[in-house]
Amino acid sequence: MGSLAFRVALAPPLVGRSSRHGARISGARYRLSRCCFSSQSAMASAALEIELIPCLKDNYAYLLRDASSGAIGVVDPSTAQPVIEALERRGLKLTHIINTHHHWDHTGGNADLKKRYGAQAREFFFFFLLSSFLLRRTKLYLIVAPPGDGIPGIDVPLKDGDTWMLGEHAMKVIGTPGHTRGHVSYYFADSRAVFTGDTLFSIGCGRLFEGSAQQMWSSLSKLAALPDETRVFCGHEYTLSNAKFAMTIEPNNPALNSHFEKVKQLRDSGLATIPSSVGEEKKFNPFLRPASREIRRSLNLSDDASDSDVFAAVRKAKDRA
């Protein structure tokens, strides 16, 4: 298991970009896009690099790079331009897009990115001393996504239990329906990273637009079973509002109270609260804590209520908040 290191490169505010949050947050968004997380393994010469890319109001896309193979993937691009800027800043060319589910704010950049980077390339190779050339067509770009979620243009359909290689890094597909019927999450064991889309948020989970509470609880249970050190890269910056809700139903949770202060400081500085970890989420995410007596009392649930029923009650309470 590789050690996880963080690299932060600060930059001046981005000039000329409009923002609902004003100039100060506009600059912070640029700094966030320069925040790069890398995982290095003693067994591999190259690291899987993970760069957070803010999109729209509160979405996050993630740029993944396997330096050894040159494979470059992006997870859930809401729009193309922030991804293009991140690629051009580093002199990279996109090879894959990886979607967790079909919602527009996770796939909105697909078409433009495929148009820009998806042309067929012709590569000529001199064959020994002969005066002929070998023509090879290489597909440079693939859409990798769950086939059951209605995402157009999929080149590599992936389902629960599949393993797909991004360069030299194995990506395991975990079926996580609930938010949508076909939602999946992607787990890189060697990089201790899971991309959860809109299933698991920091101190929260996604709304049940297409699935049932039972489905979502089953999906969250799969993610909670990953190693505690697994970093959770989710699709939105909802952590502060999620924490405020969590404190209404479990106000005496010391881990939650401590993390709430950390989250406020990060957001006040215009910084991301992502990634968290599976181990941390199990300590303060109310959607992963159905055994909490305080949560049960807050929601008037008995000790006999099933974990799935407690989860459903927490979800309903959050929907009303």
**153: alpha, beta or left? (left if phi > 0; alpha if psi -120 to 50):** left
Collapsing DSSP states into helix, strand and coil, what is residue 290? coil
CA within 13 Å, CB half, 125: 8
Annotation says 179 is catalytic: yes
Among 96, 102, 106, 259, the one annotated catalytic: 106
Give me the residue label for tokens 């509160």: 58
- What's the rounded Cα separation, in Å, for the pair 110 and 178? 23
> What is the distance of C-alpha 134 from the center of its chain?
40
Residue 236 is among the residues annotated as catalytic for this protein:
yes
Query: Taking the alpha carbons of 51, 74, 230, 1 in that order, is the dihedral positive or negative?
Result: negative
> 103, 169, 183, 259: which one is catalytic?
103
**Burial (CB count <10 Å: 0-12, 13-18, 19+), residue 252:** exposed
State the catalytic residue, choosing from 101, 102, 169, 259: 101
Q: Which two tokens stand for residue 218?
A: 């089953």
Q: How far apart are CA 170 and CA 159, in angstroms?
A: 15
Which of 149, 190, 198, 309 is labelled catalytic? 198
Q: Which of 105, 149, 190, 309 is catalytic?
A: 105
- Residue 105 known to be catalytic: yes
| Residue 11 CB neighbour total at 10 angstroms | 11
Q: How do 96-98 and 71-75 pair as beta strands?
A: parallel
Q: Is 169 a catalytic residue?
A: no
106 flagged as catalytic: yes
Catalytic residue of the set 102, 169, 179, 183: 179
**Active-site residue set:** 101, 103, 105-106, 179, 198, 236
